[in-house]
Structure formats: C-alpha cells, structure tokens
Amino acid sequence: MSRAERRAAEREALKLARKANGSTVNNQTQLPAAGNTASEIPAVFMAAAGASEPLSDARLAANRANAALSTGPTSLEGKAKSSLNAVKTGLTGRTVLLSTDDAAVYQQHLDRHFSQYQPATDEERALIQAIGDTEWRLLRIAPLEAGIYAIGRRQIADQFADEQDPANREALIHAQIFLTYRKDLSNLALQERRLRNQRAADTAKLEQLQKDRHEKHKSAFAAAKIWYKMAQKREIPFDPAFFGFVFSVEELADQITHEEAKKYFTGPNSELNREQFDAYLTKWKARQAA
C-alpha cells in the first residue's frame, strides 16, 4: 500500500470512529463530556486532541515503516543532487559563515573593507558589513560551479565511450553535465546576479552617504575657520563648541597653517614666513611618517 493510500485509510478509520461514538464531523473533533474518565475516551479522540497515549506494537511498526520511506535519496545520482543544496543555503539566509569557512580569513576580509571605506557612522558601518558579507558569498560562486561540474563528471564519466575523438567526447560530457544540472547552474547564476545587484546598491548608498558627510564636514569646517580667524584678529578666545562645531581649535589652526603653507610654496600671498613654513613642513613630514 502506498503512503497516500495509508493516509486515506487512516482518515476513513477516524471518520468511522467518530460516527460510532456519536460525534459530528465538521473539521473539529468533538471530545466526550468532561465527566468521562481517560479509560472511557476512545484512543482515536485522544490522538485527535493531542493527548499522550501509549502506542501499540502495530502503530510502532507502522511508524518505523513510514520513517524508512523518508531517509532521503539512496541512489548515487540522488545523493549527488542532494549535495548541491549548498548552492542555495550557502548564498542566501542570515548565516554568512559556513562550517567550512575560516573565521580568521573572513575577519581579514572585513577588515580590508573597513580600512578602505573608513566609516564614521553606524549606518556606514552597517553598509560596509553588508557589502563585505555579500562579497564573501560571491566568493563561493566559482567553487560551487566547479563542484557541480565535478559531481556531474563523476556521474557520467563512462558515457560517450564510443566517441573516438577526445575533444568531442569532452565536449559531450561537458554538455551533458550542463543539461543534467541546468536547474542548479541556473539557480547559481540567478543568485550571483542578485548578490551583485545587492552589492552595487549598498555600495552606491554608502558612497552617497560618505559624499554627503564629507561635503557637510567641509562646509562646516570652512565656516569654523572664518569664525576662528575673526576671533584671532580681535584677540579673543574662540570655542568651536559654542558655535555648534565639533572641531577643536588645534584642528582649525593646523588646517589654516596647512593652507598657508601651500600658498607659501606656490606664491607670495602666504601669511607664513620661511621659518614658519620650514617648521610646519618638518612637523607635517613627521606626522605622515608616524
């Protein structure tokens, strides 16, 4: 008896049991009155209500038989296709690191991204993390594709033995692998496009965020320098925080000196003299070497 036939027989037995006990069948199992003891309640009602009931030897044997029908693929081809589940689970989902991944290499991979983009906000850091994770998944594409063809080659290695030309036989085997695993290869290509699009979108968003941040910083710094120079001319203290700036006086002074040093190098309009220029240049070189 097939599994479907067994299911149908079980449903029919349940229906007959309900009728025998005076219950109506309307999508909900009606339990006997509350006054009945457990011994008075038919086993079929206990099972329908989710109550715990010892299983008979016959039921245990039937359960074992059903379990034996769900052990997964048994043929070499079935096991090979089952092993390709990594094509799906390795490229989607929340888990980035697989059991075979090297956590240290993954961390180095992320460190390179953070070093490249130099985030300054939580939103930027989250985007860099997402970009790094997407690229980590993209790195799986080539090995997965190679794995599919390796599995396929094992499965059909003995085919086309009558082809005398080695080059033609190799082409036939390669084509047969593609036809056999076309669905898996197509899914792999689909996931690659999805990941690349996601990476492009996240990268564009990150670059726009950083561009806006730099422009805002540049504009605020220019305004702070104007106030700082004004305070210097009037010989009064200048507190950037008082005007809503996040820069320190030292940062402003260094930037102004840097700009004046550039002017000194390119023309006579700088406010620095030669001694001040040489002193700043020495300081700047030491800072770059640190």
Domain boundary (164, 186, 212) is at 212
Nearest-5° angle of CA 14, CA 50, CA 11?
Answer: 20
What's the CA gap between 247 and 241, in Å, rounded? Answer: 8
Residues 161 and 43 in one domain: no
Domain-ending residue, one of 167, 193, 212: 212
- On whether both 16 and 53 belong to a single domain, the answer is yes
- Say if residue 205 is in the same domain as residue 96: yes
Closest CA to 85 of 149, 150, 154, 144: 144
- Assess whether 205 and 98 both reside in one domain: yes
- The span from the CA of 103 to the CA of 99, in Å, is 9
Shared domain check, 157 and 104: yes
Regarding whether 109 and 14 lie in a shared domain, the answer is no
268/265 Cα distance (integer angstroms): 8
Q: Which structural domain range is residue 266 located in?
A: 214-289
Domain boundary among the residues 15, 44, 68 is at 68
Residue 83 shares a structural domain with residue 205: yes
Crossing angle for the helix pair 249-266 and 182-234, nearest 10 degrees? 90
The predicted-structure confidence for 60-100, as pLDDT tens digits, reads as follows 566 555 555 545 555 545 544 444 443 344 566 667 778 77
The 10s digit of each residue's pLDDT in 104-115 is 999 999 999 999
Cα–Cα distance, 220 to 206 (Å, whole number): 21
How far is the C-alpha of 39 from the C-alpha of 53, rounded, in Å? 11
Tokens 């800072």, located at residue: 287
Number of structural domains in the chain: 3
Q: Tell me what the pLDDT averaged over the chain comes to.
A: 76
pLDDT in tens, 106-164: 999 999 999 999 999 999 999 999 999 999 999 999 999 999 999 998 888 888 888 88
Residue 183 vs residues 34, 157, 176, 188, 189: alpha-carbon distances, Å: 56, 20, 13, 9, 10
- Do 125 and 201 have their domain in common? yes
Do 30 and 58 belong together in one domain?
yes
Structure confidence at residue 192 (pLDDT) = 94
User: Looking at the structure, do residues 83 and 38 belong to the same domain, yes or no?
Assistant: no
State whether 178 and 221 are in the same domain.
no
For the segment 167-180, the average pLDDT, to the nearest whole number, is 89
206 and 259 inside one domain: no
Q: CA-to-CA distance for 287 and 290, rounded, in angstroms?
A: 5
Q: Work out the angle at residue 240's Cα, subtended by the Cα atoms of residues 235 and 241, and round it to the nearest 5 degrees.
A: 135
pLDDT interval class at 272 (50, 70, 90): confident
